[in-house]
Amino acid sequence: MLTALFGGTFDPIHYGHLLPAMALTKEVGLSQISLLPNNIPPHKPQPEASTEQRLAMLKLAIEDMPPVFSIDTREIFSDKLMQPSYTINTLQQWRIENGNSEGLAFIMGQDSLLSLPTWNHWQTLLDYCHLLICRRPGYAEKTDNAELQSWIDAHQTINIEDLHKTANGYIYFAHTPLEDISATEIRDNINNQQSCKDLLPAKVWQYIHTQGLYSAKKM
């Protein structure tokens, strides 16, 4: 069985994260999914929710989910909070802690895959993990970036067994459900006093309400 990290801002966490991740556990055979909230350094535009609020929402979100979900706080409690969290550093740290033989996957949506060339040392990510890509409505299946596309072509597998036979190195495009949900849409809906109860777990919705999050006006 494979362990996975699922990085994100989670401002807030929603079913567009949780439902594809749940489906992945069955499709690929994941023993654990650690939600990995990222650190946004002080000089960057900040998420609307504080780090503590993002973490509180993650905790509430997984309360009623299967025990496969956990939270990895290493990026938000790092001693390098002045820097953005670089996935490559997190993966390297994970390998130091867990060794090189255990399988590790990193989950991302199709939009993140398309933005990969902006990531620090993106071409070496596969030295540490497999990438599991979840489909996302509105994002192209192929990229215009020739370098990225040839990197994908060189590493893509359609065989789930490959993900279990080696500890890292493959890209797998999952057949996860298409969930047309984004945190931006949720924040906008709340600010416009529209309900988006069905887009995220009830406990997270309740928390947003009691904290008055994402709303310039009163909800």
Whichever of 74 and 161 has its CB closer to ligand ATP, that residue is 74
Whichever of 10 and 151 has its CB closer to ligand ATP, that residue is 10
User: Is residue 133 helix, strand or coil?
Assistant: strand
Whichever of 65 and 100 has its CB closer to ligand ATP, that residue is 65
Burial class (CB in 10 A: 0-12, 13-18, 19+), 156: middle
Quickly list H helices, 26-123. Answer: 51-63, 87-98, 110-114
Q: Which stretch binds ligand ATP (CB under 6 A): 8-16, 62-70, 72-80, 167-175?
A: 8-16
Distance in Å, CB of 8 to ligand ATP, minimum: 3
- Binding footprint of ligand ATP, residue count (CB under 6 A): 18
Residue 109 binding ligand ATP, by CB under 6 A = yes
Tell me which residue has its CB nearest to ligand ATP.
109
Distance in Å, CB of 48 to ligand ATP, minimum: 9
Residue 130 binding ligand ATP, by CB under 6 A = no
Backbone torsions φ then ψ of 191, nearest 5 degrees: -65, -30
Residue 16 binding ligand ATP, by CB under 6 A = yes
Query: What H or E segment, with its residue span, contains residue 188?
Result: helix 183-191
Question: Strands of 2-8's sheet, edge to edge?
Answer: 69-71, 30-37, 2-8, 104-109, 130-134, 171-173
Whichever of 16 and 103 has its CB closer to ligand ATP, that residue is 16
Residue 181 binding ligand ATP, by CB under 6 A = yes
Out of 2, 4, 11, 49, point to the residue binding ligand ATP (CB under 6 A): 11
Residue 182 binding ligand ATP, by CB under 6 A = yes
Report whether 69 contacts 30 (CB < 8 A): no
CA 46 – CA 44 distance, rounded (Å)? 6
What crossing angle do the helices spanning 51-63 and 202-211 adopt, rounded to 10°?
150
Which parts of 183-212 interact with ligand ATP (CB under 6 A)? 183-184
Count of C-beta atoms within a 10 Å radius of residue 11: 23
Residue 134 binding ligand ATP, by CB under 6 A = yes
Count of C-beta atoms within a 10 Å radius of residue 136: 21
Q: Which stretch binds ligand ATP (CB under 6 A): 70-78, 91-99, 143-151, 181-189?
A: 181-189
Q: Which residues bind ligand ATP (CB under 6 A)?
A: 8-11, 16-17, 20, 108-109, 111-112, 134, 136, 179, 181-184
